[in-house]
Structure 1
């Protein structure tokens, strides 16, 4: 088969797949995950049901593919944030805030059922490892430069960050999400780092000097 024909077929397949996943995203955003059906996906995408079934055997396979694409896109967002900033402390803060806001916004758009039904499979497992490595490397970089604590392993601190910021999904506002990020970052500060005037539980001064604990100060 000629190369150009092969490329044309592949482009067509890619276009159908993208249209299917775009339609799924629109339906989930508008009606919720549980309301998505093969008929509605085909109608939204502008393709026949028979064509859709050639690409996906059932609605669950469509939802998994859509979710995997979304997760990879979010990882690319985080890596782009990382690459824009050079200062180790600011870099980690920006990545963690972006991650927390993504968690918050996804929960608001899709509800808790996404996590329960779709956080599984090899692609999601690999994506989680990639995310963990991204944060671990930023933590290690911060510890090496002296802006983060070095008395706890970077792997442990990365896991702490991701578990702590998972709570962003249940928060009521972006302001609350940013406060959670501040509290999480306070746990990464070196114990002997100067605390400033002790009036703010932010990245630059978490209020250890007057006995004020950052968990309470950030709220």
Structure 2
């Protein structure tokens, strides 16, 4: 019988999932999603290959679970940052700054773009996670337009344009230029939506 880590079966399952998530992100940053196998991930996590199947039937399921977890964590962090910020322009600044804090593991991973190596079903499920974050931006922009802080504009066009600005690789992960890049991005987005 395999050794249980943590104080309970629930803790064991969660700790195992966290190890698998960490291994997935590490391997993706080294080789890209298409170049790794579930066996590679199990080995990097220090978990028996067959034990992985108790958690995930394949690596796409693992990827979806990881992104679900990360999205839930990010949305909770974003909502906490927005809590108590009433001005829609300040909410938009907060949204931009929070987006800048995200690690771009999947955008920076070597190998082909994930959309070219995943099944249609997985791509659709990943898109659902992006929509959760887009709904927050949609809410901010709508409040800005309704209050008169932003000019009227087509929200369904503006949301992907704003997020395209924020998903670029133009913001360094660290160093002297990071804060300047965040400020420049923030200013650009605010001008683009008519807040400045």
TM over 0.5: same fold? yes
Return the offset for 1:52.
Answer: 1.3
Residues 1:126 and 1:33: Cα distance change in structure 2 (over 3 Å): closer
Residues 1:137 and 1:108: Cα distance change in structure 2 (over 3 Å): closer
Contact 1:164 1:184 in 2 (8 A): yes
In the alignment, structure 2 segments of 5+ residues that lack a partner are: 1-6, 173-177
Secondary structure of 1:55's aligned partner: coil
Q: How does 1:46-195 map to 2 (within 5 A)?
A: 46-83=46-83, 85-102=85-102, 105-106=104-105, 109-111=108-110, 113=112, 115-116=114-115, 117=117, 120-122=123-125, 124-149=126-151, 151-166=152-167, 168-169=168-169, 171=170, 173=172, 174=178, 175-189=180-194
Secondary structure of 1:120's aligned partner: helix
Return the offset for 1:91.
Answer: 1.5
CA distance in 2, matches of 1:54, 1:110: 27
Deviates more, 1:88-97 or 1:76-85: 76-85
Return the offset for 1:84.
Answer: 5.4
CA distance in 2, matches of 1:112, 1:180: 27
Q: 1:42 matched to which residue of 2? A: 42
CA distance in 1, matches of 2:15, 2:157: 42
Which entry has the higher C-alpha Rg, 1 or 2?
A: 1
**1:23-45 CA-partner distances (Å, limit 9, x unpaired):** 22233334543443323322222
Deviates more, 1:152-161 or 1:49-58: 152-161
Return the offset for 1:60.
Answer: 3.2
Return the offset for 1:184.
Answer: 2.1
Residues 1:120 and 1:154: Cα distance change in structure 2 (over 3 Å): same
TM-score (norm 1): 0.65
Return the offset for 1:138.
Answer: 0.8
Residues 1:80 and 1:20: Cα distance change in structure 2 (over 3 Å): same
Residues 1:133 and 1:49: Cα distance change in structure 2 (over 3 Å): same
User: Which is bigger in relative contact order (C-alpha 8 A, separation at least 6)?
Assistant: 2
CA distance in 2, matches of 1:98, 1:115: 23
Q: 1:14 matched to which residue of 2? A: 14
Return the offset for 1:62.
Answer: 2.3
